[in-house]
Amino acid sequence: MSDTSAIEPLILGGSPSPFDIPKGCFGLTVTEVQHYTDSLFRFRITRPQEFRFRSGEFVMIGLPNAEKPVFRAYSVASPSWDEELEFYSIKVQHGPLTEHLQKIQPGDTVLMRKKPTGTLVNDALLPGKRVWMFSTGTGLAPFASLIRDPETYEKFETIVLVHGCRTAAELKYGEDLVASLRNNPLIGEMVDGHLFHYTTVTRESFDRQGRVTDLISSGKLFDDLGLARMGPEEDRAMICGSMAMLRDTKELCIEHGLSEGANNKPGEFVVERAFVD
């Protein structure tokens, strides 16, 4: 396959970059950037026709701002049918990548390695009735992809997107996304009555408070939703958050009788770290 990406315009901050697109990468154009808080933003980039991925997978993202660019793993937040690619990112003040990435604007170039991968995919779960998507912070990203994919609704009758953040402002990306799905003439019908969105905040007062893990342990999560507690017969789970959140949520899934799966051995729950920190 010929690599045509090397001839695409290479622009950053409005001026051409002196660096070539590295081998094995696409050089893609930023189409949209939206900032939510001092520490969160989303961006969209063009999608090469040849790039295929499964909803829930991640790719390596970088910037053409050095001879050897820094790459970080990013879950694709858009579904596999979308014409563009969307990502949801934190901004870290001295983060090797996000310090620069947070400044991108439409027209700029972003690097993306060509091979997607990841375990938070429908194929890694055994069939079931409900799927629980447990996320904290930017761990929401792979689920932003999966809740927009009709395949998820074909596989599961009920999809529960659980999102825990420190503050209510950090819930906005997920709230906007779910509202847009409900209002979407194509997807709205599929989502209606099937997608539950459960948000919780830990560091300020809010309707629902407490860590996702505490809400699972106490049973409050299930009671609030009017759903039975998780069990291996009907429930499947996907987990994405910090290392500590993964460890604790995974333990709770095991306590509820679920066993871990992978791409080559589908199971009752799967786990992936929310990467960029």
> Tokens 């074909």 label which residue?
154
- 84, amino acid identity: E
Minimum CB distance to ligand A2P smaller for 25 or for 160: 160
Q: Are 80 and 53 in contact (CB under 8 A)?
A: yes
How far is the CA of 192 from the CAs of 130, 160, 179, in angstroms? 15, 12, 11
DSSP 117-171: B-S-SGGGB---SEEEEEEEGGGGHHHHHHTT-HHHHHH-SEEEEEEEESSGGGG
Question: Residues 75, 56: contact at Cβ < 8 Å?
Answer: yes
> Least distance from C-beta 213 to ligand A2P, angstroms?
4
Interface pick for ligand A2P out of 165, 177, 230, 237 (rule CB under 6 A): 165
Q: Is 174 in the site for ligand A2P (CB under 6 A)?
A: no
Should residue 211 be labelled a site residue for ligand A2P when binding is judged by CB under 6 A?
Answer: yes
Q: Shortest Cβ distance from residue 137 to ligand A2P (Å)?
A: 4
Distance of CA 59 to the CA centre of its chain: 11
Q: Which stretch binds ligand A2P (CB under 6 A): 2-10, 111-119, 181-189, 243-251?
A: 243-251
Residue 172 in the binding site for ligand A2P (CB under 6 A): no
| Single-letter residue type at 198 | Y
Binding of ligand A2P by 213 (CB under 6 A): yes
116/164 with CB nearer ligand A2P: 164
203 binds ligand A2P (CB under 6 A): yes
Q: Across-strand partners of 28?
A: 110
Shortest CB 139 distance to ligand A2P, Å: 8
Per-residue binder mask for ligand A2P (CB under 6 A), 49-68, x = binder: --------------------
Q: Which is nearer to ligand A2P, 119 or 249 (CB)?
A: 249
Please give the Cα distance from 252 to 218 (Å, whole number).
11
* Segment contacting ligand A2P by CB under 6 A, of 21-29, 102-110, 242-250, 259-267: 242-250
Token pair, residue 126, equals: 């055994």
Which residues of the chain form contacts with ligand A2P (CB under 6 A)? 136-137, 164-166, 202-203, 211-213, 242, 244-245, 248
